[in-house]
Structure 1
């Protein structure tokens, strides 16, 4: 079976040859450089330049010469074998024969996400290297891998958020067919594949759009990376189509099961419908017969994008990363209060309780970290499955100066308690690669600008200056201890050592994770799949969490004690205990010692 996404951009293999199409509204002349020869392209209305080249074929190398000078890669290139500044390569999507003909996905409630950076997840750092690990992840209880961005980025080492050619899987990890084999194999194992995509900015190296499509950007909207993407001004229709087609390309041509949209709060749009709404609507219309899941990262906590239809299915987006849950957990576990943890350190347990029960801790309240600006919308009506919960992810680890994991910051017994509550709560859980065995490797920030020394210096200095706002790095001497992101050793330190899984204490954590995921599959998923009725954070004490989530098939109750004195409660015969901390008295008069919890299923009445 072949899969091809047809789009107006880029190179497409046709019976007549290869059709090349470039949107270059601010260029006067465009010529294609194809296998060493140049050909004029036909200028058409709307800023388009097109040509069908009968002599081109899969494997042909090409670029576009703009106004007789600069040669640029195709912004819709499917493959960049020589990195972001090199020529593009024509590929034929029909060359890969898919074997997952009957695969239509899995229900969202069954999702257990495993976030992966291809380059550091395995010694090989390739699609093939990760493919060899899928069976062990499946056996652990993982149902979906989530790939950090793979769009072509400069150099060989990058988190992926500096991508500049969003249709080209980065050649550092393998060829497009290697990625397809990874996805195909995952589907054969019953696992979904998600992809993190970035539609809010382009990286600082290799973005040539300004040279021939200046209207792709706008100064009316500013972002942390400069002028915004033009999704609402003159000529914005083509810009919107570029990203809509990118999403459909991954879903259709690569048979991806879900997309995670990076930092959508940085996509400014004053038009109607908002780009975020149109994007989801177009995807839902184009792929109606598969279980496709759309996940937002949205600091603004806008519940409007997560609303459900009458049949309880998502109207637009499936879920949002629940930063509030993480941030409250982190403040509670570590006591840290700098940066955005300022908004949670004042009352971490209360913030955590509200976030666990209602999704957002901030639902319109002022944020001290943002200078008193309000943040968020009411979310208590949304089901827990509208929120992706995590104790760690690439941001929360890698944006620390040294990239330490929680297992380096928190006592093992307290982290074990948080892990159990996290994996047995009714939200959709996400584990960061290696978290399942408390990997010793950090995940540090790394880039590769070896051929651009000025940019490398700017990134190195910028990274160190970023941490001077924190007391521990305020001095010049202290800031110099921040790892150099341009040093290859920073990347190498971040690679996982899979042999740790078989050694103590890592094997204990791995066994705990496996047992918890089996409990989740057995007890939690049937509840969340049955239909959500409501939740409440009950007032038990200032040192306790007492949360009840109610579903059609019954209720789930979490009772946790974080105070110094034992917490007493009563358990009757309507309760089935799913999990309890060591040392909990499970008699009818329940007693929880300090830093202990119990998770119970309560029968429907």
Structure 2
């Protein structure tokens, strides 16, 4: 149980429930709750600094409740542990100790062992539930996955959504099951040796179901404006309580649900001029709390490439987050695989092989360099001194698939030999690799953007998405834009489910076999040598052949050569034990050929 000043707390010895809400703009509040099927309303006590409280001796786990504002508007608890009837309905009191855990011996896994698998609970299986997803965990563990990352679970409006429109940050969305179902999922993952990470969104609230503006304007800071309106107040007057809300949320997921860490969405969209950025405060709170007893990790998404948030101390331990999603590597690899150069891919089109090499060796491609896509504005900070494990790298994720008009996966856009080479570079590098659900067998199902808003908002979202793609030549006509799937259509949701039967068919079985082979080699040759990794590597490109060399944590040297040119080249003289090679024969490295070696394996 995570103790916090917000929300509903079961009192000891059957003493009922204490309900608390920070509502400084409401002079009075009432608590509405159900007792034996009868709805009752009680006044709440106004406390200092905008807090309101009521203790109800007869309330218990399962009690439904709402807060009633002076104008009669009934709102859910912003710290609700569960909202069974969606974001506009009543909250439910949950007993944090009601589930009996079986993972008492679990201490997590160190970050350098992470092989991440991102999934969306609602489309991962036909059932779209925690219970159904749990049944596939053993297969992921057998494949070589060591960490499952769940797309956001915070309660969002409707039955279908990516989760980035959540408004109740403590309430796992009811469309996937009950809280105990989610705990059972995590419990089983730990039994199988899998970490579980949760994606959290601390940069904005969704557009439907957020009632904080009605009674707590201090939660937002109009000095910072965002695409969603006034920014969440992380740095203005009264921001301490707001910051406590989100720190408590991070601790809650790790304490009460035994998650092994967080992925923080779009940190670049968080307006925070405080001396300590909220992302760093969250990471430090986790490390000083549950992190004292087990491995707990924080990964960021940050388009700014702010390497300072990933800084290490003199002992090479993180002072902020453990890692960041490496969009730069994805973009360079995507250009190299598909030839696409529009939008932000233009920043990688000049020399995608060199850009990929810099990412593999140093982390970011943009480390303070001017970005043409951003009209020459400098982007990023130096990252070469960070360990390679500070970067979560991938060829796919939910954004890079779902933000395409038709949600195509890279396996539909690129030739097989080129993808084989890129998967070898990804999975046999010291970066923390990530796969998106179904990617391991080149699933043909798209992953579309989908949501389930009310009619007015739904129409605006559909119109906005089609207008957004209207900037591209392929969608310049009204007919082309009309063909873009409607995010609110249920079909956009159902078509996004991977077909698991494809694993037994070609070419899907071949991709699965390659991924399994590469992950087995990673487990054998890399994983034992990544602890203590300090700094990045070096790279060079000659005649289309990329060569990267890294010094691993045990003193061994990892070397990679990949031919991304159009002609065969002489096989580079890489020293050490050959770990993997493809399309390398007769002294030649063929186009899309890769060789990986490890030297000085005894340190």
Q: Give the stretch that moved more between structures: 309-318 or 144-153.
A: 309-318
* Equivalence for 1:340: 344
- Give the match's secondary structure for 1:243: helix
C-alpha displacement of 1:246: 0.2
- Pair 1:361-2:360 in alignment: no
Q: 2:226 aligns with which of 223, 228, 232?
A: 223
Query: Per-residue CA shift, 1:122-166, capped at 9, x if unaligned?
Result: 011000010000001111111110000000000000000000000
Q: Give the stretch that moved more between structures: 313-322 or 72-81.
A: 313-322
- Pair 1:203-2:224 in alignment: no
Q: 1:177 aligns with which of 176, 180, 186?
A: 180
CA contact (8 A) 2:503 2:509 kept: yes
* Equivalence for 1:273: 276
Distance 2:572 2:234 in 1: 56
- Give the match's secondary structure for 2:197: strand
Q: Kindly report which structure 2 residues correspond to 1:264-303, keeping only aligned pairs within 5 A, or say none.
A: 264-287=267-290, 288-303=292-307
Distance 1:570 1:397 in 2: 35
C-alpha displacement of 1:274: 2.1
TM-score (norm 2): 0.97
CA contact (8 A) 1:110 1:525 kept: yes
- Give the match's secondary structure for 1:371: coil
* Equivalence for 1:545: 546
CA contact (8 A) 1:530 1:553 kept: no
C-alpha displacement of 1:13: 0.5
Distance 1:300 1:570 in 2: 36
CA contact (8 A) 2:385 2:534 kept: no
CA contact (8 A) 2:363 2:536 kept: no
* Equivalence for 1:113: 116
CA contact (8 A) 2:84 2:174 kept: yes
Distance 1:40 1:490 in 2: 45
* Equivalence for 2:136: 133
Q: 2:442 aligns with which of 431, 435, 438?
A: 438
* Equivalence for 1:192: 195
* Equivalence for 1:34: 33
- Pair 1:592-2:589 in alignment: yes
CA contact (8 A) 2:386 2:535 kept: no
Q: Kindly report which structure 2 residues correspond to 1:380-459, keeping only aligned pairs within 5 A, or say none.
A: 380-449=384-453, 452-459=454-461
Distance 2:148 2:503 in 1: 19
Query: Per-residue CA shift, 1:420-440, capped at 9, x if unaligned?
Result: 111111100000000000001
* Equivalence for 1:520: 522
CA contact (8 A) 1:527 1:555 kept: no
C-alpha displacement of 1:310: 2.4
- Give the match's secondary structure for 1:593: strand
Distance 1:274 1:505 in 2: 46
C-alpha displacement of 1:204: 0.6
* Equivalence for 2:566: 564
C-alpha displacement of 1:381: 0.5
- Pair 1:240-2:243 in alignment: yes
C-alpha displacement of 1:568: 1.6
Distance 1:259 1:114 in 2: 14
C-alpha displacement of 1:534: 4.5
Distance 2:435 2:61 in 1: 39
* Equivalence for 2:216: 213
CA contact (8 A) 1:11 1:19 kept: yes
- Give the match's secondary structure for 2:591: coil
Distance 2:436 2:340 in 1: 21
Structure 1 residues 533 and 79: alpha-carbon distance in aligned structure 2, compared to 1, 3 A threshold: closer
Distance 1:114 1:216 in 2: 34
* Equivalence for 1:165: 168
C-alpha displacement of 1:276: 2.0
Distance 2:573 2:544 in 1: 20
- Pair 1:76-2:79 in alignment: yes
CA contact (8 A) 1:548 1:558 kept: yes
- Give the match's secondary structure for 1:79: coil
- Give the match's secondary structure for 1:38: strand
Distance 1:531 1:368 in 2: 33
Q: Kindly report which structure 2 residues correspond to 1:487-506, keeping only aligned pairs within 5 A, or say none.
A: 487-506=489-508
Distance 2:43 2:361 in 1: 61
Distance 2:272 2:532 in 1: 37
* Equivalence for 1:91: 94
* Equivalence for 1:24: 23
CA contact (8 A) 1:29 1:68 kept: no
- Give the match's secondary structure for 2:68: strand
TM-score (norm 1): 0.96
CA contact (8 A) 2:199 2:263 kept: yes
C-alpha displacement of 1:542: 4.7
- Give the match's secondary structure for 1:51: strand
Q: Give the stretch that moved more between structures: 276-285 or 391-400.
A: 276-285
C-alpha displacement of 1:533: 5.4
C-alpha displacement of 1:569: 4.1
Structure 1 residues 474 and 48: alpha-carbon distance in aligned structure 2, compared to 1, 3 A threshold: same
Distance 2:335 2:368 in 1: 21
- Pair 1:47-2:50 in alignment: yes
Query: Per-residue CA shift, 1:210-246, capped at 9, x if unaligned?
Result: 0001111122112222221111111111100000000
Distance 1:525 1:577 in 2: 16
Structure 1 runs not aligned, ≥5 long: none
Residues paired across the two proteins, number: 594
Structure 1 residues 60 and 361: alpha-carbon distance in aligned structure 2, compared to 1, 3 A threshold: same
Structure 1 residues 411 and 14: alpha-carbon distance in aligned structure 2, compared to 1, 3 A threshold: same
Distance 1:534 1:275 in 2: 27
C-alpha displacement of 1:309: 2.1
CA contact (8 A) 1:535 1:550 kept: yes
* Equivalence for 2:600: 603
Structure 2 runs not aligned, ≥5 long: none
C-alpha displacement of 1:570: 4.7
Distance 1:542 1:23 in 2: 63
Q: Tell me how large the CA RMSD over aligned residues is.
A: 1.2
Structure 1 residues 154 and 534: alpha-carbon distance in aligned structure 2, compared to 1, 3 A threshold: closer
Distance 1:533 1:56 in 2: 55
Q: Give the stretch that moved more between structures: 482-491 or 283-292.
A: 283-292
Q: Give the stretch that moved more between structures: 595-604 or 248-257.
A: 595-604
* Equivalence for 1:57: 60
